[in-house]
């Protein structure tokens, strides 16, 4: 079971006011590669729970945010800091790539 919460377009802007970096996994239920990185996002959420926020957006259910950030292929993981995109990782990557990107923002 995923420990990472799905958020809606309507919640997204409030999320960006967070004091800590925000990791957003743009995903969809039908996306095989997305399922591969799902457990990595869960692990990231668990390991960085006090230092970062990890959320998912279903691009089928919440299209506006995906469109706003020009998400054309998934999985796409965007890291935000201070409301701005500071890192984009598209496609399946290993856990170390996600942690390295997040560590740079801490």
Residue 31 annotated among the catalytic residues of the structure: yes
Dist. CA 15–CA 38, nearest whole Å: 20
Q: In CATH, what number is assigned to the domain containing residue 34?
A: 3.40.30.10
Catalytic residue among 4, 7, 22, 34: 34
Question: Is pLDDT at 73 greater than 60 in this prediction?
Answer: yes
Residue 102 annotated among the catalytic residues of the structure: no
The whole domain housing 56 covers 5-103
pLDDT digit string (tens) for 15-68? 999 999 999 999 999 999 999 999 999 999 999 999 999 999 999 999 999 999
Dist. CA 84–CA 21, nearest whole Å: 10
pTM recorded for the entire structure: 0.95
Q: How many domains does the chain have?
A: 1
Banded pLDDT at 3 (limits 50, 70, 90): confident
Catalytic residue among 31, 44, 52, 89: 31
Summarize the confidence of residues 88-94 as an average pLDDT: 97
Dist. CA 92–CA 97, nearest whole Å: 10
């Amino acid at each position: 079971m995923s420990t990472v919460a799905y958020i809606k377009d309507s919640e997204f802007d409030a999320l960006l006011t967070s004091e800590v970096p925000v990791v957003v996994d743009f995903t969809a239920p039908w996306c095989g590669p997305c399922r591969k990185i799902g457990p990595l996002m869960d692990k990231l959420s668990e390991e960085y729970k006090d230092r970062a926020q990890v959320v998912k957006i279903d691009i089928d259910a919440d299209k506006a945010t995906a469109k706003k950030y020009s998400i054309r292929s998934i999985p796409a993981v965007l890291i935000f800091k201070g409301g701005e995109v500071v890192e984009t990782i598209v496609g399946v990557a290993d856990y170390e790539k996600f942690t390295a990107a997040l560590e740079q923002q801490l």
